Structure 1
Amino acid sequence: MPLEAEIRTALQTLDPTVLEVINESALHSGHAGDDGSGESHWRIRIAASRLDELTRIARHRAIHDALGPAIIGRIHALAIEIK
């Protein structure tokens, strides 16, 4: 399964009302974190009521927890935008 699909599936546990998963790896081609997989740099735009009452740090932790170590371990850079 492509990493984008894995990310989308994992984040469904947060019941998002908005979820955009954007692969930005091509923008970082040749960068030290570019592993050549084409799946190293990601941006997530998400809105979920479960995140509303959390602090910014707690929101990011919740997203990282939802993704889990198997996915996080395969990502060099993850930008998170919470709406």
Structure 2
Amino acid sequence: MRVAAAIEAKLTEAFRPSRLKVTDESHKHIGHAGARPEGESHFHVEIVSAAFAGKSRIERQRLIHAVLAAELASDVHALATKILTPDEDVFT
């Protein structure tokens, strides 16, 4: 899980989240464009951080994409996100 680990490490460093879940969903995309035989091409990220307070949904997504630019340019074909502040997180 080298790509998932890199995603987790970069997001943790950049946003110090109170909750972070990185899920490899590549198995759902076998045979589709961008899917790699070894997996780690399609991810879902749930992140909760105070760093997103006062930011629109688009601004939050841009921040995530900026931090993961290298992965999105190479290994990651698709990235689904759920980006919340601690006040928006119903699981805390």
TM-score scaled by structure 2? 0.83
Structure 1 residue runs of 4 or more that deviate by more than 2 Å after TM superposition: none
- Percent of aligned pairs sharing the same letter: 39
The answer for the alignment partner of 2:79 in structure 1 is: 78
CA distance in 1, matches of 2:59, 2:25: 24
**Cα offset, 1:76, TM superposition:** 0.6
The number of residues matched between the two structures is 82
Q: Higher relative contact order by CA 8 Å / sep ≥ 6: 1 or 2?
A: 1
Structure 2: give runs of 5+ residues left out of the alignment: 85-92
Structure 1: give runs of 5+ residues left out of the alignment: none
**Cα offset, 1:64, TM superposition:** 0.9
- Listed one character per residue, the Cα deviations across residues 30-62 of structure 1 (whole Å, up to 9, x for unaligned) are 112212230110000000000121011000001
Structure with bigger gyration radius: 2
The answer for the alignment partner of 1:8 in structure 2 is: 8
- Larger helix fraction of residues: 1
Give secondary structure in 2 for the equivalent of 1:61: helix
Q: CA RMSD in A?
A: 1.2
TM-score scaled by structure 1? 0.91
